[in-house]
């Protein structure tokens, strides 16, 4: 059977309110659940996004053992997984006499040697509610995941759709989040218990890594998904973008690696570019576009300070002939400012508005719509207009003020993302040369933007006229040496117009 489930993280301050809400739906006793997850030593099940567990469930009627195999265990807050269950007599997994299970195909020929990977133990409060024309099983799990001496807490809500429309699950989640001063920051969680447990079990070999906003994955979504034919491409792409953001949220909140923030921003840019390219953006009043833009803005300040610290500050000092001790002092101040922005980002990512925005976007992505063929010609026309604007800028490039140069960079980025998105729909080979030209143009304009952002940030961490003058000279030099290269790239791009399917 297919399992459709939305997982929400429950922060510590929200526990009591969640319990009160569940109590208002009934008074069934809590269930005690103890599960052990298994795989082969070389991780055959995990490599195919599958998980196998044996669970002991103890409720008012006694203890019961159930074995479950799940497939499609990928990073997704709303999971669509195939599930097979069978009652077993004890804690050991059963591998034979299961004709409808794909277990043997997953494990391969020959005897299967399974090992215990990790264990989950938690108390589950369950309620079944009718909401929005759907029957939804709500489960609140409180406990822990353990692997050897390592452990992580479990505190999450699972909303499993038993019958009815998928969007009812999101409507219920948004109702649980609530409004006003008592609203709860119930953030959609892309990691399943199996996913978290595997990471914990292999902590010496596997660590959390930034999830890349890969352009090919976004492009592939235009071709559809076999089990999601009721969802149009723009909605699939927005869902994938938000899922990528959610997969990077924890690392971004903790400041573990600058790539978490960078990949989250790229995912949101790709989603916004897709809406424009596919004609799904509806101007400034578009709620989806507004939510994506706000979410992207959340990460902006931290990213600006990351670039300043890792890239531009050292170059300012190299070019200005300033002393090493001055650089170290300024780096410390900039790092302190970056740390404050990191705390602000952590608060935002753990806040009600971010959770509600993510749920709204995922809900929109699940709304059914009539499937229609992608109009390559219409999208080409949109791209053509964008290229015309880029090429026209070459005429008076040196007279463009910084804000207009910044908008030019954004336009180049949108064009590149849109062309990457549509590459898989091209009737011939993808326009690789045009993509390369756009990528280089984006890099050059980005170099100018980084310099100008540095110039705007530095006065907040130093009053030294010597440092500020050195920064101005360096920024002027970057603009002066880079603009001719930008003009050259724009002229090369003009020679590739008009853009056609053979570009």
Helix-helix angle 233-254:258-277, to 10 degrees: 160
The count of other CB atoms within 10 Å of the CB of residue 425 is 17
Q: Which of 232-241, 424-433, 483-492 has the lowest mean pLDDT?
A: 424-433
Q: Which of 135-139, 290-294, 357-361, 430-434 has the lowest mean pLDDT?
A: 430-434
Write out pLDDT tens, residues 74-98.
788 999 999 999 999 999 999 988 9
Q: What percent of the chain has pLDDT over 90?
A: 62
Residues 383, 423: Cα–Cα separation, whole Å: 12
Please report, in angstroms and rounded to a whole number, the separation of the first and last CA atoms in the chain: 46
Within the chain, how many helices (H) and strands (E) appear? 17, 9
**Residue recorded with tokens 């790229």:** 266
Q: Evaluate if residue 395 carries a pLDDT over 80.
A: no
Half-sphere exposure at residue 423, Cβ-oriented, CA atoms within 13 angstroms: 20
Residue 181 per-residue DSSP state = G
Q: What is the 3-state secondary structure (H, E, C) of 348-371?
A: HHCCHHHHHHHHHHHHHHHCCCCC
Q: What is the pLDDT of residue 230?
A: 45
Write out pLDDT tens, residues 15-51.
999 999 999 999 889 999 999 999 999 999 999 999 9
Per-residue tokens: 26: 């009934």
- pTM attached to this predicted model: 0.91
Q: What is the pLDDT of residue 314?
A: 87
**Residue recorded with tokens 């990213």:** 303
* pLDDT (mean) for 59-82: 89
The chain-wide mean pLDDT, for the chain, equals 89
């Amino acid at each position: 059977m297919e399992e459709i489930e939305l997982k929400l993280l429950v922060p510590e301050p929200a526990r009591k309110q969640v319990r009160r809400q569940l109590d208002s739906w009934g008074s069934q006793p809590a269930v005690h659940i103890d599960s052990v997850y298994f795989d082969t030593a070389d991780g055959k099940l995990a490599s195919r996004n599958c998980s196998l567990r044996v669970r002991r469930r103890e409720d008012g009627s006694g203890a019961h053992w159930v074995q479950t195999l799940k497939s499609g265990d990928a990073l997704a807050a709303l999971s669509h997984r195939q599930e097979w269950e069978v009652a077993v007599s004890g804690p050991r997994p059963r591998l034979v006499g299961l004709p409808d299970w794909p277990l043997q195909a997953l494990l391969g020929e020959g005897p299967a040697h399974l090992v215990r990977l990790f264990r989950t133990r938690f108390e589950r409060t369950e309620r079944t509610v009718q909401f929005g024309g759907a029957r939804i099983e709500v489960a609140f799990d409180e406990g822990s995941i353990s692997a050897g001496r390592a452990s992580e807490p479990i505190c999450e809500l699972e909303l499993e759709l038993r019958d009815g429309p998928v969007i009812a699950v999101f409507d219920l989640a948004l109702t649980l989040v609530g409004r006003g001063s008592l609203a709860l920051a119930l953030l959609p969680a892309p990691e399943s218990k199996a996913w978290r447990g595997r990471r914990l079990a292999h902590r010496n070999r596997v660590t959390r890594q930034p999830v890349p906003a890969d352009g090919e994955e976004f492009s592939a979504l235009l071709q559809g998904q076999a089990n999601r034919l009721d969802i149009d491409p723009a909605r699939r792409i927005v869902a994938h973008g938000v899922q990528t953001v959610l997969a990077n949220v924890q690392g971004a909140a903790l400041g573990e690696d600058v790539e978490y923030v960078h990949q989250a921003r790229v995912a949101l840019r790709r989603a916004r570019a897709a809406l424009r390219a596919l004609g799904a953006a509806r101007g400034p009043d578009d709620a989806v576009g507004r939510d994506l833009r706000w979410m992207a803005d959340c990460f902006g300040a931290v990213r600006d300070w990351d670039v300043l610290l890792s890239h531009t500050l050292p170059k300012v000092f190299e070019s200005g002939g300033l002393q090493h001790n001055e650089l170290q002092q300024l780096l410390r101040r900039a790092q302190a400012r970056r740390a404050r922005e990191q705390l602000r980002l952590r608060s935002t990512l753990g806040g009600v508005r971010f959770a509600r925005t993510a749920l709204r976007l995922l809900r929109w992505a699940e709304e059914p719509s009539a499937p229609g063929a992608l109009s390559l010609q219409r999208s080409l026309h949109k791209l053509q207009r964008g290229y015309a604007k880029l090429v026209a800028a070459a005429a008076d490039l040196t007279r463009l003020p910084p804000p207009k140069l910044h908008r030019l960079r954004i336009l180049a980025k949108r064009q590149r993302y849109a062309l990457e998105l549509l590459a898989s729909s091209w009737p011939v080979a993808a326009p690789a040369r045009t993509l390369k030209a756009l990528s280089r143009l984006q890099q050059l304009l980005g170099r100018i933007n980084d310099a100008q952002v540095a110039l705007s940030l530095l006065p907040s961490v130093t009053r030294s006229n010597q440092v500020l003058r050195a920064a101005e000279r360096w920024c002027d030099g970057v603009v002066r040496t880079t603009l001719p290269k930008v003009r050259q790239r724009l002229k090369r791009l003009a020679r590739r117009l008009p853009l056609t399917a053979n570009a």
